[in-house]
Amino acid sequence: MAIIETHQLTKVFPGDIRAVDGIDFEIKEGEIFAFLGPNGAGKTTTIKMLNTLILPTSGSAMVTGLDVVKNAAEVRKRIGYVAQDVGVDEHATGKENLTLYGHFYRLDGKTIKERVKEIFDLVGLSGDENRMVSTYSGGMRKRLDLAMGLIHQPQVIFMDEPTTGLDPQTRASIWEYIRNLVKSKGMTIFLTTHYMEEADRLADRIAIIDLGKIIAMGTADELKKSIGGDVVTVTPCEDKDEACKEFIRRSEALLTGKPFVTGMKPTDGELAVYVNDGASAIPSIMQLLSGQGIEVKTITMSRPSLDDVFLKYTGKTIRAQEGTRTSFAQLMRMRDRRQR
Amino acid sequence: MNIISDTWYITMRDLRSRIRMPVFIFMTLFQPILWLVLFTQIFKSLGGLPGLGSSSYLQFFAPGVLVMTVLFGSAFSGFGMLWDMDTGVLSKMLATPVTRISVIAGRVIATVVVLLIQALIIIILALILGVHFETGVPGVLFAFLLLSLLGLGFAAFSNGLALLLKRQENVMAVTNLLTMPLMFLSSLMMPAALLPGWLNTVRQINPIDYAVVGARDLISNGYIWHDLWLCFVVLAALAVVGVTFGTLMFRARAE
């Protein structure tokens, strides 16, 4: 059963800015679903329509079987919201912050007490309940923020860029809490992110969104498979100047139509070549290019990442801090091993 | 009733956070001292002036200090709302089932409560300094009613302004543009009889002047009902206008 469902959901802001442009998707109960896209793609606008903070211009959305416009008040009781900004009160303790939200969600005093204890355990803040939030670290605030969206045990929780601005270690721990939630409470999670790694590691399914439109949707594996076996990245120049553009254009022309190439995307100073088997394609690429006087400065091979998926569908990159690219030396060793 | 409990929780949240700011408590106590002790010293020689209508400048000016404190305290109430908007606290609250109107009502009520506490401190200090309260406790309570209406109107208006203009610089500019002339175009610092003719005319359409006249009557002159009645009506109208504006702006924000 779909717990979130949208039909041609659209938001147009004054000045004819189509922030969200007719999107359709369904999320199943208990799923972690990620909206992946660069800043300004329409991720936050989508979340704010689903959690009743803004009204759609057209189209419709159902959350837990209820229309977000017609049944806004009822929807609010069933969902939790963790915004990009940590909306916690500095001049209150963690417990006071959480208790206030317990009241907003119409929980009785006894239930609030129990939940506060339980949730502080869950997000690893036990022992810090009675400290002022102004003394909390960034990671602790984010965890409290998370807790405030959970106190009423919502069926769905919306998280807008849950780890933006946090250090890698804290980010990993937040992911752990999010996974625990799904496991222990069976919650459905809708999150937005511009971190490839976050979508890759956390989400059951991913929708890639750019300029207000969903351009691809599926599991991380499905998305990666959709662009073929390996990505070979060729850098024919050191400076990103006109000559470089010319080299890349010529390289692309040379490789076009070659049987081992399944696709190509030129970017700033690089050419991404999608191939079925990178290790065997590299010598052919090197040979072809150097035969035409194009000196390859570096050549690397990687498994397709979501970055490549994004590049293929949008023609742009969201540079991810992923360390999956393999150096040329490693590549040669891999080939040797394969041949043996 | 959710509207009452939600308003209560938000009022308490606001009051709690103010109490925890040492600078805030200091300013609350320090400002009245500054006006009542220092400012009245500067104008001490006006004490014997015919037309002042009071035995001393302190006696004349003390009701003005009450009005000024309430005016400035309430006119800057919207900055708390701006802070909540900037930090994401407001969005987060509005995504919960909280009664919409409680979010602004709680903040406005908290502002008025704080201002009345400040007014009480001023009155105690004035008593110590020798100000005579003509109508006693009932009159002071009546003055509190007038001051509450003034505070309610301006606090709600200021919150509405914050929601409308969204940026701190703009809200600050408009607030200053509004409060300073309102204070000067009244009989707050100088009795009406001594004001130039044009100013005496202008002050009669200034709601602040009605708060000043009302408070001054109750503290220094006694129950002058034809004055007090008009003051009450004007300030009640101000409160209605302010609350309506604040509510409309909040509705627009919360869609």
The pLDDT score that the predictor gives to residue A242 is: 81
Find the helix or strand (DSSP H, E) in which B70 lies. Answer: helix B57-75
- 3-state class of B14 per DSSP? helix
Chain B residues whose beta carbon lies within 8 Å of the beta carbon of residue A76: 95-97
| B25-41 mean pLDDT | 84
Strand residues in chain B grouped as ranges (E) = none
A207 has a pLDDT exceeding 90: yes
- Report chain A's mean pLDDT, rounded to a whole number: 86
Q: Which of A54, A83, A96 sits opposite B92 (nearest CB)?
A: A83
Helices A138-148 and A109-122: angle between axes, nearest 10 degrees: 140
| Edge-to-edge strand ranges of the sheet holding A156-160 | A79-82, A156-160, A188-193, A32-36, A205-210, A213-218
H helix intervals, B95-135: 100-129
Output the pLDDT for position A296. Answer: 83
Q: What is the mean predicted confidence (pLDDT) over B200-215?
A: 94
* H-type alpha helices, A42-133: 43-50, 72-78, 94-104, 109-122
Q: Give the residue-averaged pLDDT of B34-44.
A: 88
- A135 contacts in B (CB within 8 Å)? none
CB A194 within 8 A of CB A294: no
pLDDT score for A317: 67
CA distance B81 to B10: 12
Is residue B178 within 8 Å of B75, Cβ to Cβ? Answer: yes
Q: Given a cut of 90, is residue A300 above it in pLDDT?
A: no
Length of chain A: 340
Average pLDDT over residues A257-263: 83
A309 closest CA partner among A222, A251, A205, A235: A222
User: What would the pLDDT profile of A37-65 be if each residue is shown by its tens digit?
Assistant: 888 889 999 999 999 999 999 999 999 99
Which residues neighbour B226 within 8 Å (Cβ) at sequence distance 6 or greater?
none
In terms of Cα–Cα distance, which of A107, A105, A150, A80 is closest to B97?
Answer: A105
Distance from CA of A100 to the nearest CA of B (A): 7
3-state helix, strand, coil in chain A (%, to 5): 40, 25, 35
Least confident of A4-8, A174-178, A332-336: A332-336
What ipTM does this complex have? Answer: 0.86
Chain A residues touching B95 at Cβ < 8 A: 51-53, 76, 79, 81, 83
Greater pLDDT, A68 or A313? A68
Q: Which of A55, A76, A84 minimises the CB distance to B96?
A: A76
Cβ-contact A198, A230 below 8 angstroms: no
The pLDDT assigned to A37 comes to 87
Q: What angle do CA A213, A215, A217 make, to 5 degrees?
A: 115
Question: How would residue A66 be classed by pLDDT, with cut points 50, 70 and 90?
Answer: very high
Minimal Cα distance from A158: which residue of B?
B95
SS3 B36: helix
Give the A-side interface with B, CB within 8 Å. 48, 51-55, 73, 76-77, 79, 81, 83-92, 96, 100-101, 103-106, 132, 145, 148
Closest in B93, B95, B97 to A106, CB measured = B97
pLDDT at residue number B161: 96
* Dihedral of alpha carbons B200, B206, B210, B212, sign: negative
For residue A318, name the pLDDT band (cuts at 50, 70, 90): low
Q: What is the DSSP letter of A93?
A: B
Contacts of B21 in chain A (CB under 8 A): 91
- Count, residues in chain B: 255
